[in-house]
Structure 1
Amino acid sequence: MTPGRTPLLALRQISKYFGAVEALVGVDLEVHAHEVVALVGDNGAGKSTLAKIVAGVLQPDSGMIEIDGTPVTLSSASAANRMGVASVFQDLALCENLDVTANVFLGQEVRNRVGMLAEGEMETETRSLLRHLTVRIPSVRTPLRNLSGGQRQAVAIARTLIGDPRIVVLDEPTAALSVAQTAEVLTHIERLREMGLGVILISHNLTDVRAVSDRIEVLRHGRNNGAFSADASQEEILGAITGARSPSL
């Protein structure tokens, strides 16, 4: 938390139930501009449910969401997008048979006055986005199927930047990547922070989390169970994840 500053995004006492299952109970979370906040916890802790609420895919049963201190309703993914929230989930939602540019603008294609695709404009914008993220890809016309896992993740992140979002949610962006590819993706996340965005990073990898995050928030059984700075020990964070320590909020 940053006293005295209005957070870019604030979740206040968010609860979500699936029948008798308590997925989230009274969860609080704040994210500021120029900040990477990691959300960690064991399987079933509620991380993905919270991410989907921020993304507008799910709606909370109670609680309040604020953007810039103003209560908002994220009734759908498109509503969240309009309010500056972009998300990358584990399936990436990319198309193997299309090239990099087509994937970056998938569903958001730019057309000229006569309704034709503005290929040149989209290529130029794609190069600019990849350059800002320090992504190394041979060509914006390279088919996605020819890219590594890390490069595909970078394309998915670049795609979120269409429409100038302010908040980006990344769900397990380094899962199943090599050490080198993971390092590249962490660099892209740092660039998002430098660009002034607020980033929610969901990950099981505490090494990655501690390398790139400004703050680490632990969920356990759908509840807040600790808030840590990135220099907290791995033992402290693991203690909160496993329940060996009490929350320090």
Structure 2
Amino acid sequence: MTTKLLSLRGIRKAYGAVEAVRGVDLDIQAGEVLALCGDNGAGKSSLVKIIAGAQPPSGGTMQWRGREVAFHSPQDALREGIATIYQDLALAPRLSIAQNVFLGSELTRGPLGLPFPQLLDKRRMVAEARGYLQRLNLPQADMGAAVERLSGGQRQAVAIARALRWQAELIIMDEPTAALGVRETAQVLSLIRTLHEEGRTVLLISHNMADVCAVATRVAIMKAGSKAIDRPVAGLDPDRLAHMVMTGQDMPAAA
């Protein structure tokens, strides 16, 4: 039996006279990888910003684990267990891997066990950061290495490790393979599969239909601000999926 993690009902978003999101209903089930697709201007970015707490909806309701919620900031969403990894990853390039994993939530300790003054517990942060990366099948990373020295795939791993540190139940990944090469793209897709195997829920925003077919369990396609299609990915290939995104019309799966 699946557990409904997030439910959107009648979500709208208007920017003046322009209605970017038009009464969208969407459910996200615990443990699935849901791909959100659509052409530029389809409304998916506005919808994601509402889920992430970056923008309020103009109408509609959102329920998290059966309880109605209203996020006023990304911090509100994060406190509930929703973490968003944007394309720029929001990493500090000159800080180390461990420092980035704990950025904004650093571990501290008092000297000789005293509660004050507080010092950074660097040893514990390094150990725990290494543990998060081991869960993502990246055990060999040097925790003291500056993030700017890492590949694109490795940087995605650091951003995901930070989401795990935040104990996120829903991880939103915005175009995670954009501008990456073949090898780095494969690494990021492997990270998403690992999250899925661990039981994490992933909302994947992508223009790459091959990536969607490779890792997503379900796809929701938006067209002109509305949800046009919502169906399992099983049986679809990238060409069929691209046609569905372009036309907003469902197509039967391959026989």
Same fold judged by TM-score > 0.5? Answer: yes
Q: Does 1:15 align with 2:15?
A: no
Alignment of 1:193-212 (within 5 A): 193-212=196-215
Amino acid at match of 1:140: M
Unaligned runs of 5+ in 2: 111-115
Structure 1 CA distance, aligned partners of 2:44 and 2:162? 23
Deviations 1:143-182 (A, max 9, x none): 1111111111111111111121111100000101111111
Structure 1 CA distance, aligned partners of 2:251 and 2:8? 18
Aligned to 1:125: 128
Q: CA deviation at 1:244?
A: 5.7
Q: CA deviation at 1:220?
A: 0.9
Structure 2 CA distance, aligned partners of 1:160 and 1:184? 17
Amino acid at match of 1:237: L
Q: CA deviation at 1:241?
A: 1.5
30 and 41 in structure 1: CA distance in 2 versus 1, 3 angstrom threshold: same
Aligned to 2:24: 27
Aligned to 1:241: 245
Alignment of 1:19-168 (within 5 A): 19-113=16-110, 114=116, 115-135=118-138, 137-168=140-171
Give the TM-score normalised by structure 1.
0.93
244 and 122 in structure 1: CA distance in 2 versus 1, 3 angstrom threshold: closer
137 and 42 in structure 1: CA distance in 2 versus 1, 3 angstrom threshold: farther
Structure 2 CA distance, aligned partners of 1:142 and 1:177? 21
SS in 2 for 1:122: helix
Does the Cα contact within 8 Å between 1:225 and 1:240 map onto a contact in 2? no
Does the Cα contact within 8 Å between 1:37 and 1:201 map onto a contact in 2? yes
SS in 1 for 2:109: coil
Structure 1 CA distance, aligned partners of 2:35 and 2:25? 14
Percent of aligned positions that are identical: 42
244 and 217 in structure 1: CA distance in 2 versus 1, 3 angstrom threshold: closer
SS in 2 for 1:45: coil
Q: Decide which moves more: 187-196 or 97-106.
A: 187-196
Give the TM-score normalised by structure 2.
0.91
Q: Decide which moves more: 216-225 or 5-14.
A: 5-14
Alignment of 1:163-182 (within 5 A): 163-182=166-185
Q: Which has the larger radius of gyration?
A: 2
Structure 2 CA distance, aligned partners of 1:47 and 1:221? 10
Does the Cα contact within 8 Å between 2:223 and 2:248 map onto a contact in 1? no
- Give the number of equivalent residue pairs: 245
Q: CA deviation at 1:111?
A: 1.0
Deviations 1:77-113 (A, max 9, x none): 1110110101100111111111100111111111113
Alignment of 1:221-240 (within 5 A): 221-230=224-233, 231-240=235-244
Structure 1 CA distance, aligned partners of 2:175 and 2:128? 26
Deviations 1:54-75 (A, max 9, x none): 1101111111111111111111
Structure 2 CA distance, aligned partners of 1:127 and 1:246? 44
Structure 2 CA distance, aligned partners of 1:210 and 1:203? 11
SS in 2 for 1:65: strand
Unaligned runs of 5+ in 1: none
